[in-house]
Chains A and B, each alone.
Chain A
């Protein structure tokens, strides 16, 4: 499952032009990475495409940190 974390981080760096070193597991999407509601929509759409999963509205928000997002994706893939 380790590569899922890497893929999520890579996605964040690519989509939002973030520095790889700032996208650590504990980074909060809003407080630390400055993501707004529209960027969250882009992230969710990209995650759905990358992992071929379905994410419901409100399941991932910018209150989450990177490791939360990874866990949600991992759980979806197990189902």
Chain B
């Protein structure tokens, strides 16, 4: 498989354009901050990666009140990606363009505000916009309406692996010649009272720093944002003469079939997904120069991910979890990680895993601790995993 990536759109705590985002990522800064938009003082975790002061001017006010923040961020990221890819939609067949968005939770701020009004304030109905605002396919619908895109599309809901699976799915639909162009990625807005409470209650959320692969880890910190890529049939991209950031070359996914929340301790499902992605790309393990890890920051998550990587890769390859800087963007995370890997390839710099202090004997890979590292990257691999035993792996190479 060879599908071109020709545009990048990013809305995330480290930046709302790729330049600002990359400057902050390569500097290894932390963008986790105390939650101030609601009273989180009674919550076990009171911090998150937050997108503050988002400029929503490009979106008409009449539309803004009908949609949740997760759709707003997806629309802004799509607009960036479209411009970055120099796409003139008027010249394209709308039936040859698709949208593939990943999302885990839906638009909970909209939903829980309405529910509170209904049950606490005693209002006798909900907003007519609620039904179309909160559901996970809302961003796909809004992007489709906003740009008049009408081709083969799909929303992928697969917990934290949603965005990476959406990108892998989109690449395959392009590979099968059903469409020429896809807007693919994910969006998530989980910094809301009910969403944070649910994540906290489940027990995977960190109370302190988010420190993947560190012995003192205690879970992940949530973050909000959206990442959208323009994927394009390679012939179509070459004909347009547009800049190609990289190529999607392989994709693999397997389930564990073991537990509702916990991964397989031995990482067997992930190892199979790693091998499947490498096979599809036609790579040997030693061809990979950088692995952008899931790095969920739970004991079993980190150890099983390390075991899976060690089962497949004999050589020590740099593995980092840049999301330690800005939080786990749940259903948007895979898209942001692909963007990071593309910018890492373009700039020959591996972004670090931050907050790393104490070595865990069971996690003994090269996690690129705390400081970014210069390295030429020709091929990279991205891992996303989710509850329910979901494992997804994507490989990319320089364009």
* Residues in A lying within 8 Å of B, measured CB to CB: 16-18, 38-39, 41-42, 45
Contacts and interface: CB of A to CB of B under 8 A. Distances in A.
A42 B128 contact: yes
Contact of A17 (B61, B128, B132): B61
B58 interface: no
Question: Residue among A16, A18, A38, A45 with the most chain B CB within 10 A?
Answer: A38
A12 to B, nearest CB: 11
B122 interface: no
A45 B129 CA distance: 13
Nearest to B129: A38
Contact of B128 (A16, A18, A38): A38
Contacts of A45: 125, 128
B361 interface: no
Given A17-B61, A38-B131, 15 more contacts: A16-B62, A17-B60, A17-B62, A18-B62, A38-B66, A38-B128, A38-B129, A38-B132, A39-B128, A41-B128, A42-B127, A42-B128, A42-B129, A45-B125, A45-B128
Q: For chain B, give the interface size range.
A: 10 to 19
A66 to B, nearest CB: 17
17 contacts: A16-B62, A17-B60, A17-B61, A17-B62, A18-B62, A38-B66, A38-B128, A38-B129, A38-B131, A38-B132, A39-B128, A41-B128, A42-B127, A42-B128, A42-B129, A45-B125, A45-B128
Nearest to B62: A17
A18 B127 CA distance: 20
Contacts of A42: 127-129
B213 to A, nearest CB: 47
Contacts of B127: 42
Interface of B: 60-62, 66, 125, 127-129, 131-132
A45 B132 CA distance: 18
Nearest to B133: A38
Nearest to B61: A17
Contacts of A18: 62
A10 to B, nearest CB: 16
A39 B61 CA distance: 14
A41 B125 CA distance: 11
Contacts of A39: 128
A16 B128 CA distance: 13
A18 B62 CA distance: 8
Contacts of B131: 38
B49 to A, nearest CB: 31
B193 to A, nearest CB: 25
Counting from the closest, the 10 A-B pairs by CB-CB distance are: A41-B128, A38-B128, A17-B62, A17-B61, A16-B62, A42-B128, A38-B129, A38-B132, A38-B66, A17-B60
A38 B131 CA distance: 10
B176 to A, nearest CB: 34
Contacts of B128: 38-39, 41-42, 45
Nearest to B66: A38
A76 to B, nearest CB: 20
A44 to B, nearest CB: 9
A47 to B, nearest CB: 13
A77 to B, nearest CB: 23
Contacts of A17: 60-62
A22 to B, nearest CB: 12
A38 to B, nearest CB: 4
Contacts of B132: 38
Question: Residue among B61, B127, B128, B129 with the most chain A CB within 10 A?
Answer: B128
Contacts of B60: 17
A41 B127 CA distance: 9
A41 B132 CA distance: 13
Nearest to B64: A17
Contacts of B62: 16-18
Contacts of B66: 38
